[in-house]
Structure 1
Amino acid sequence: MSAIAPAAAPARTRPKDRRQQIAMAAAEAFSERGYHQVSMGDVAAAVGISAPALYRHFPNKYALFVDAAERLANGLLEATDAFEASGVESDAAAAPSGAEPAPADEAAARAAFDAIVTAVVESTIDNRRTGGLYRWEGRYLEPDDRAKLRAAFSKLTARVGRPLSRLREAEGRAVDDSDLLLLASGVLSVVASITAHHTNLPRRQLADLLVAACDDVAETELPTVGAPAAAETGGLASASKRELIIREALVLFHRRGYHDTGIEDLSAAVGLTTSGFYRHFASKSDLLLEACLRASERLVATTAEALGGADSPAVGLDRLVDAYVAHSFTHHELMSVYFSDAGALPPVELERLRTLQRNHVDEWSALLRAVRADLSAAEARFRVHAGLNVVVDIGRLVHWDPSESNRRRVAALVRSALGVS
């Protein structure tokens, strides 16, 4: 009897959506761990393919990063394309100048604004695991690619701004272009805040919470703009080389990013040789840890000082908002490094820092719940993250100009995001 020939193995076929799988795996990794902490091998392993197979789709890691950033921006634009094309906001036309707006006009304007915000919210929830990518990693884009991404987000801001403007007009509270930019940017910052943390809520509850927070921000009465703050002299430089290294490191890390700043750059900035640098810090990572711990300690001190003179939770929260905004504008380089470069720390130190960050948010959340008993613990955390996110995003928008009016305007947006305005 002749032997039965073994059945031929089924031919392996490449999935049609392989490139999409790769792009999503890369976007999630970049968003969670940072551009420099992710290798092509990490992405290939996440998809379950070999590195050579990955290179058939993307020539290098930068191409993957650009693709991920563009998908993020284009996804948000596609989510709002229908509103742009259909002119859904047209029903929200404002009443004639000087006339009392009819309730129907205001209701239509509110519906149009909420519709486009809901579209952005739903898209962001769908892509929550990848949405933080551009916000913290955009500095690693080449100038042309960065300009494209900024143009896309500017387009999205304008799309949100148009129905927002009609809503304010229908309410008889029209705003000028500069206020409209801040309000629309604040709305988008509230939505984007969910990409910066892992607190969970059921999807419908989360979407409703975000839309409500966006409505609160859209209703913000912004203080008038004052004169720009006078240029600061910077004071006297510390004689300590260690302190000088930390100060210059914050500037360079903020401007270039941690990974694109070398020991040679840091040493040259303070007039040291490389060997001189190592007399003060064992490594660049130790320097980053020192900066991050310092940022955390200052936040704790700022919070304690703000709450120390408060005689009620409402007063304490009000004082904390002002203190946090002032602190962020004064130390924006330190705060930027604290939130955006901490991912480069060793795992043990990173977890230590994240615990400190969670404790800080917990303090805000407890205070907010003392003022707003209607919020659950999770809802309060979402509101707090939204408020803290607004400080960063609007601070960048106004180039961290520390004028009193800028700080007051940002603080007003933060109170709205918290829901206590």
Structure 2
Amino acid sequence: MSEARAADQVRRRPRDRRQSIEAAAAVAFAERGYHRVAMQDVADAVGITAAALYRHFDNKYELFREVAMDLVARLTDATASVGSAADPTPAAARAELGAVLDAVSGETVAMRSSGNIYRWESRYLRPDDRRALAAEFTALRRRLAEPAATLRPDLDPATLDLVALAALSVIASVTAHRTPMSVGSLQELLREAALRVLTDAPGDAPPASSSGDGEAPEGAAAPSRRRDQLAQAGIAAFARSGYHEASIEEIAAAVGLTPSGVYRHFSGKSEILRTACERAAATLDAAAEDALGRSEPREALHSLEAAYVRFAVEDRDLMDVYTADVGALDAEDQRRLRRLQRAHVDDWVELLGRLRPGSEPRELRFLVHAGFNVVADLSVALRRSPAPEAKRWIGAVLETVLGV
């Protein structure tokens, strides 16, 4: 080996090592969550000592922040080569949208095993870092909204931003499950569904309430039983801070108890979380049972859609906890709840298949997951809008995603 080549390898090794560390950390954070990953876990995955890892990153938070910002930078970089016309025609705008969607979906599929840290783990970023991450995603949505405005002159800027959010949410949904599909077929499916959202989504979205808080969800009265009050307080704490950051003290204070008072009703945080997840599963299962009992497929699917959107809008904290924090349960509870979640997806696939008989079940499964992701993201984005209007608009976007 020549001296020049050896020197070049020495110069490149630190950068390559850092990239390997970030790649291993991204997968670990996505699979196990921020709190369940130790620096030693990442070092072991890379095949280095913990001391060597600390030469690149001072602590776990610094590594996590770097991973989060790098992932969104990859999406931004992927779209950089797509040109923008100063005064595009509708045909040019559609072509530009397709190219941007292809770039984003290609990069997302490539990092499918790690991309879902944005959805839930980003809540552990510090406020300044969270704002920086949000600014990057705002710019990415604008990259879609600008050409979409040529095709949708009926939409105001706020609605265009929401439609772009929904299109990106369709693509991001593949990071939330592991259903297999060839890369080419998957990218085509994502592109078509995201493009449907951008071109066919309903008109102007509901405005924010003048009070800034939206309307109180129906049935939001506080429960009278102390155990139910604690469960509700736990759900709110988990949704706000994440299971690992929420404390028994915080939950107890929300209902005017001491921590010891909580233990008269629950053995600890894990039982509160399990109770919350079981409640969510039961709510969704009841909706599916009602829908599947209807003889007309269109009516049945509409019933299931309405129930899911209603749950996401009216009980958003519970939906968030059920989606995000199942991984904090013990292994057996996780397996049981994952089975319930998969069974609920199966119910959707069955109903959707009746209305799209030419589609393969695997394709429908991807669309269902995309629909779930869009509902979750839009319910957060429209949290200050009047609930009835938000539900109607989100439901219409969901149908666009599903292609019915």
TM-score (norm 2): 0.92
Tell me the alpha carbon deviations over residues 2-21 of structure 1, each in whole angstroms, 9 at most, x when there is no partner: xxxxxxxxxx9794411100
- Does the alignment pair 1:218 with 2:198? yes
User: Among 201, 226, 240, which residue is 2:181 paired with?
Assistant: 201
* Structure 2 CA distance for partners of 1:235 and 1:185, relative to 1, 3 Å: closer
Q: Which has the larger radius of gyration?
A: 1
User: Among 335, 343, 347, which residue is 1:363 paired with?
Assistant: 347
User: Among 359, 362, 377, which residue is 1:393 paired with?
Assistant: 377
Q: 2:36 is paired with a residue of what secondary structure?
A: coil
* Structure 2 CA distance for partners of 1:203 and 1:233, relative to 1, 3 Å: closer
* Structure 2 CA distance for partners of 1:404 and 1:37, relative to 1, 3 Å: same
User: Among 113, 125, 137, which residue is 2:109 paired with?
Assistant: 125
* Structure 2 CA distance for partners of 1:320 and 1:232, relative to 1, 3 Å: closer
Instruction: Between 388-397 and 401-410, report the one with greater CA deviation.
Output: 401-410
Tell me the alpha carbon deviations over residues 43-73 of structure 1, each in whole angstroms, 9 at most, x when there is no partner: 1111111111111111111011100100111
Q: 1:82 is paired with a residue of what secondary structure?
A: coil
**Which residue pairs with 1:97 in the alignment?**
none
Instruction: Between 195-204 and 261-270, report the one with greater CA deviation.
Output: 261-270
Contact 1:325 1:411 (8 Å CA) reproduced: yes
- Give 1:365 deviation, angstroms: 0.9
Q: 2:115 is paired with a residue of what secondary structure?
A: coil
| AA partner of residue 40 (structure 1) | M
* Structure 2 CA distance for partners of 1:300 and 1:232, relative to 1, 3 Å: closer
| AA partner of residue 47 (structure 1) | V
Contact 2:292 2:300 (8 Å CA) reproduced: yes
- Report the aligned-residue RMSD: 1.9
Contact 2:31 2:114 (8 Å CA) reproduced: yes
The aligned runs of 1:85-234 (5 Å cut-off) are 86-87=83-84, 89-90=85-86, 92-93=88-89, 106-169=90-153, 174-225=154-205, 228=209, 230-231=215-216
- Give 1:120 deviation, angstroms: 0.6
| AA partner of residue 275 (structure 1) | S
Query: How many angstroms apart in 2 are the aligned matches of 1:128 and 1:225?
Result: 30
TM-score (norm 1): 0.88
**Which residue pairs with 1:75 in the alignment?**
74
The aligned runs of 1:329-344 (5 Å cut-off) are 329-344=313-328
Contact 1:288 1:345 (8 Å CA) reproduced: yes
Instruction: Between 319-328 and 290-299, report the one with greater CA deviation.
Output: 319-328
| AA partner of residue 56 (structure 2) | H
Report the count of equivalent residues: 389
- Does the alignment pair 1:372 with 2:372? no
Query: How many angstroms apart in 2 are the aligned matches of 1:26 and 1:247?
Result: 33
* Structure 2 CA distance for partners of 1:352 and 1:153, relative to 1, 3 Å: same
Query: How many angstroms apart in 2 are the aligned matches of 1:231 and 1:397?
Result: 16
| AA partner of residue 268 (structure 1) | A
Contact 1:117 1:211 (8 Å CA) reproduced: yes
Contact 2:159 2:205 (8 Å CA) reproduced: no
Tell me the alpha carbon deviations over residues 360-399 of structure 1, each in whole angstroms, 9 at most, x when there is no partner: 1111011111111222111111000000100011111112
**Which residue pairs with 1:103 in the alignment?**
none
Q: 2:41 is paired with a residue of what secondary structure?
A: helix
| AA partner of residue 62 (structure 1) | Y
**Which residue pairs with 1:64 in the alignment?**
63
Query: How many angstroms apart in 2 are the aligned matches of 1:235 and 1:131?
Result: 34
Q: 1:150 is paired with a residue of what secondary structure?
A: helix
- Give 1:226 deviation, angstroms: 5.3
- Give 1:236 deviation, angstroms: 4.9
Q: 1:92 is paired with a residue of what secondary structure?
A: coil
Contact 2:236 2:317 (8 Å CA) reproduced: yes
Contact 2:155 2:204 (8 Å CA) reproduced: no
Tell me the alpha carbon deviations over residues 159-203 of structure 1, each in whole angstroms, 9 at most, x when there is no partner: 01111112334xxxx321122112111100000000100011000
The aligned runs of 1:219-298 (5 Å cut-off) are 219-225=199-205, 228=209, 230-231=215-216, 236-298=221-283
Q: 2:357 is paired with a residue of what secondary structure?
A: coil
* Structure 2 CA distance for partners of 1:137 and 1:155, relative to 1, 3 Å: same
| AA partner of residue 74 (structure 1) | A
Query: How many angstroms apart in 2 are the aligned matches of 1:348 and 1:230?
Result: 39
Contact 1:295 1:335 (8 Å CA) reproduced: yes
Q: 2:81 is paired with a residue of what secondary structure?
A: helix
- Give 1:237 deviation, angstroms: 3.3
Tell me the alpha carbon deviations over residues 205-252 of structure 1, each in whole angstroms, 9 at most, x when there is no partner: 001101110121112241555574544696653332211110111111
- Does the alignment pair 1:404 with 2:384? no
Contact 1:306 1:323 (8 Å CA) reproduced: no
| AA partner of residue 317 (structure 2) | E
Contact 1:223 1:405 (8 Å CA) reproduced: no
Contact 1:179 1:222 (8 Å CA) reproduced: no
Unaligned ranges ≥5, structure 2: 1-8
Tell me the alpha carbon deviations over residues 296-335 of structure 1, each in whole angstroms, 9 at most, x when there is no partner: 0111112223444x33212211221122111211111100
Contact 1:22 1:44 (8 Å CA) reproduced: yes
**Which residue pairs with 1:22 in the alignment?**
21
Query: How many angstroms apart in 2 are the aligned matches of 1:231 and 1:293?
Result: 24
Unaligned ranges ≥5, structure 1: 1-11, 94-105
* Structure 2 CA distance for partners of 1:72 and 1:305, relative to 1, 3 Å: same
Q: 2:275 is paired with a residue of what secondary structure?
A: helix
- Give 1:90 deviation, angstroms: 4.0
* Structure 2 CA distance for partners of 1:364 and 1:45, relative to 1, 3 Å: same
Contact 1:222 1:409 (8 Å CA) reproduced: yes
